[in-house]
Chain A
């Protein structure tokens, strides 16, 4: 009876016709400039590896040919081993944990403010008219310019860093959530109205679920922005965190450790992005087939 659901969507498309088309594609020479081409998973993976491989090879080559001193530009191998040493000998895990906690705490706070606010702003015009001028102005103020102020208000402790991370993302998040909420198709809301829904019911049963997949995408993007503010937050009077470690290392001209810190942030960003992608697939299974 429910056969259409028990088959995962990937498989529903593998009718014989689709299969043969995919095989054709794999045999055919890779056509780069073709719109809407289907790329087999293996090719996608391979291309990703090739991209990274080339980048690392050029980097290693630059470091080895000695056109730049290894003090200034250590090779990828040196950076990886520095990262290993940081974990093994210098208790780097403590710094990493501190950074993760900071990013997550501030991000969660930003979500708690921005998601509800953005949704009501997007759903109800008077609230948008009231709040949006404020948000629009704040969005253009660079968060780092608040550092001196935050230092005076909150001192050098954790609160100041969390506040900076919070300010760095919250305005963008409000705007994105508002825009995605406004983009909910009016026909869906009108359908609910003709079925007898009240404003409150429609907000919860139509507007929120319709906007949620896109809001989730916004969260994913903004979390990445949050990581970019981390270093700025942690180089100011920080004793722990990835950024603080990098500042210490730069004082001793340990370029390899500075770059290891960057690598670590990049890796963490990837991990969080991956987790987000998994959550997305789990939470919104109906989004996979498009509309």
Chain B
């Protein structure tokens, strides 16, 4: 893993002031490397990004460019090797309820039923049982699992388990929602439902969202801003703002608008431009 020495880093597309601001999230010159017996792997190099309150940011990029690592650092599960991350001016040093993370892998607790899984965060907080139950029911219905309220995770399909995780995190009402390829295991129909759900949640609760995906269409449809990352070492290559009229008509007609097509084309070209280095 010596590649980071040879690829010339492109000019930073983001404004990188080093002063922490009261921004919802402010990532300031963050690098992350892992040292192991095989040497040092630079997962992320000099990432700077400001994320505003209520913004929906999508991270797009090839496998291994450090998207999960970035989310984990924002969640407070991993400490940056260099640089700092601030949430509303306070440096992030540990995980907290204000930043919910939906993992790339299944994380439903196997010993709890769907209902108990979704109630989990509220139980930690000591929320009264009645309120907890009604909240859990609300979010389970949102993700369409009301028929499986009392099922255990082993009785669910992969996509259903992922929806449990989504409901569990939403029910905890985080201010920042971090999602690591949350809809990867879902069929297109459920995926679309989840998109509507996300738009809904965003509109109602003003949650700030950072979502990782490999799906360009999903990125365009949901994002206020798309952060396109490159790898070796992981860095921000481009930031795209898909300024589409999202509320105009249905999703299918939006997909065929010239603006959408142009954007999709632009992103795909960026992805292609990234791939030569990935084939080494």
Interface residues of A (CB under 8 A from B): 1-5, 9, 12, 185, 187-188, 190-198, 201, 205-206, 209-210, 212-213, 284-291
B120 contacts A289, CB within 8 Å? no
Chain B residue nearest to A201 (CB atoms) is B124
Asked if B148 and A187 sit within 8 Å, CB to CB, the answer is no
- With beta carbons under 8 angstroms apart, the residue of A209, A285, A290 that contacts B109 is A209
The 3 A-B pairs at the shortest CB distance, nearest first, are namely A196-B97, A289-B154, A195-B121
- The docked-state distance in angstroms from the alpha carbon of A278 to that of B76 is 42
Question: What is the minimal beta-carbon distance from A206 to any residue of chain B, in angstroms?
Answer: 7
* Apart from A196-B97, A198-B124, 16 more pairs, CB < 8 Å: A1-B147, A4-B155, A5-B150, A5-B155, A190-B75, A191-B165, A194-B95, A194-B101, A195-B100, A196-B125, A197-B124, A205-B124, A286-B154, A288-B154, A289-B152, A291-B153
CB nearest neighbor in A for B122: A195
Report Cα–Cα, A285/B152, bound state, in Å.
Answer: 9
List 23 interface pairs A-B (beta carbons < 8 Å), by A numbering: A1-B147, A4-B155, A5-B150, A188-B107, A190-B77, A191-B107, A192-B124, A193-B76, A194-B95, A194-B169, A195-B121, A195-B172, A196-B124, A196-B125, A197-B124, A198-B124, A205-B124, A210-B109, A210-B110, A212-B111, A285-B152, A288-B154, A291-B153
Q: Tell me whether A1 and B146 are in contact (CB under 8 A).
A: yes
The winner among A2, A190, A194, A284 for most chain B CB atoms within 10 A is A194
Contacts of A290 in B (CB 8 A): 154
- Cα of A154 to Cα of B168 in the assembled complex, Å: 55
Q: Which of A190, A210, A288 contacts B95 (CB 8 A)?
A: A190
Find chain B residues with CB under 8 A from A206 CB.
109
Min distance, Cβ B145 to any Cβ of chain A, angstroms: 10
Q: Check B202 for interface membership: any CB of A closer than 8 A.
A: no
Interface flags for B114-154 (1: CB within 8 Å of A; 0: not) read 00000011011100000000000000000000111111111
Q: Which residues of B from 27 to 41 have beta carbons under 8 Å from A?
A: none
Which B residues are within 8 Å of any A CB, using their own CB?
A: 75-77, 95-97, 99-101, 103, 105, 107, 109-111, 113, 120-121, 123-125, 146-155, 165, 168-169, 172
Please tell me if the beta carbons of A187 and B151 are within 8 angstroms of each other in the complex: no
Q: Enumerate chain B residues within 8 angstroms of A196, measured Cβ to Cβ.
A: 95-97, 121, 124-125, 172
How long is the Cα–Cα vector from A288 to B125 in the complex, in angstroms?
Answer: 31
Give the chain B neighbours of A12 by CB distance below 8 A. Answer: 155
Knowing A188-B107, A206-B109, A209-B111 are in contact, say whether A194-B152 is a contact too (CB < 8 A).
no
Closest to B161 in A: A291
Contacts of B107 in A (CB 8 A): 185, 187-188, 190-191
Knowing A290-B154, A291-B154 are in contact, say whether A195-B124 is a contact too (CB < 8 A). Answer: yes
**Quick one: which of A191, A285, A291 contacts B101, CB cutoff 8 A?**
A191
Smallest CB gap from A4: residue in B: B151
CB pair A195–B168 under 8 Å, yes or no, is yes
Question: In the complex the two chains form, is B110's CB within 8 Å of A291's CB?
Answer: yes
Alpha-carbon separation in the docked complex, A190 to B75 (Å): 10
Contact call B111/A4, Cβ cutoff below 8 A: no
The residue of chain B having its C-beta at the shortest distance from the C-beta of A193 within the complex is B95
User: A194 touching B155 by the CB < 8 A rule?
Assistant: no
Contact (A2, B149) CB under 8 Å given A190-B95, A286-B154: yes
Q: Are B111 and A195 in contact (CB under 8 A)?
A: no
Distance of A251 Cα from B150 Cα, bound (Å): 62
Contact present for A194 and B99 (CB under 8 Å): yes
- Distance between A289 CB and nearest chain B CB, rounded to angstroms: 3
**How close is B87's CB to chain A, nearest CB, in angstroms?**
13
Are A191 and B154 in contact (CB-based, < 8 A)?
no
Given contacts A201-B124, A209-B111, contact A4 B150 (CB under 8 A): yes
B171 → A minimal CB distance (Å): 9
- Across the interface, do B120 and A195 meet the contact criterion of CB distance under 8 Å? yes
User: In whole angstroms, how far apart are the Cα atoms of A241 and B123 in the complex?
Assistant: 50
Chain B residues with Cβ under 8 A from A213's Cβ?
111
A286, B105: Cβ atoms closer than 8 Å:
no
A210 touches B111 (CB 8 A): yes
Give the docked Cα–Cα distance between A88 and B19 (Å): 89
Report if A4-B148 is in contact (Cβ < 8 Å); known contacts: A196-B97, A205-B124.
yes
Task: Tell whether, in the assembled complex, residue B154 and residue A2 are in contact, meaning their CB atoms are under 8 Å apart.
Answer: no
Verify A284–B149 contact, CB threshold 8 A. Answer: no
**Which of chain B's residues has its CB closest to A288's CB?**
B154
Task: With a 10 A CB-CB cut-off, give which of B77, B110, B146, B155 has the most chain A CB atoms.
Answer: B110
CA distance A213 to B2 in the complex (A): 44
C-alpha gap A2/B115 in the complex (Å): 11
Q: Which residue of B103, B109, B121 is within 8 Å of A190 (Cβ)?
A: B103
Once A195-B172, A286-B110 are accepted as A-B contacts, the answer to whether A5 and B124 lie under 8 Å apart by CB is no
